[in-house]
Structure formats: C-alpha cells, structure tokens
Amino acid sequence: MTNPIPDSDRTQIEAAAFRRLVQHLRDNPEVQNIDLMNLAGFCRNCLSKWYRAEADERGFQLSDPAAREEIYGMPYEDWKARHQTGPKQDHK
C-alpha cells in the first residue's frame, strides 16, 4: 500500500520532476521540437509558455525570451543556431 503524499511534499516532488524533465531536454538537444510535438503533443516552447503562464498567475512578469531561456538553458536564438536541424520548424 502506498502512503499518501502531503500537498507540501507533492509540490516539491512535482517541481523536482519538472527540473529533471527540463534537464533531460537540455541534455538531448538532438531531439527536435517538431519531433516532440509529433510524438508527445508538446515541445520545449510549450513548456516555456506554461512556465510563463504560471509565473504570471503568481504575479511575476516574464517575457517570452526569458521563459524560453529558463527551459532551453540559453537564449532561444543561440539554441536554434546550435541545435535546430532542417528547415525552420518552430511551434507557435
């Protein structure tokens, strides 16, 4: 039987899992956003938009470039120049 997780611990676990997901995406830049969209229905840009929306809900103003940098670990334009392959396939 599983012990229920208190809400305060659940939030910490969810945050840690999110950080692991973001780090996994940073560690695997060969996985293109279009591939993520086709397989999972979301991509790094979606994560950055969700991040920005949640920050906004809590009263923190965050620009799109700043939110993307939180997910990509570098400015988005730098990431695209280093890692994006093929024709521009940017999910809006």
Residues of the chain with pLDDT > 70, as a percent, come to 92
Supply the pTM of this predicted model.
0.84
> 8-83 sits in which CATH class?
mainly alpha
Tell me: the pLDDT tens digits for 69-84? Answer: 999 999 999 999 999 9
Residue 37 structure tokens: 């969209």
Q: Delimit the domains of the chain by residue range.
A: 8-83
- The single-letter code of the amino acid at 68 is R
| pLDDT tens digits, one per residue of 21-50 | 999 999 999 999 999 999 999 999 999 999
3-state secondary structure of 39: helix
Distance CA 44, CA 33 (A): 6
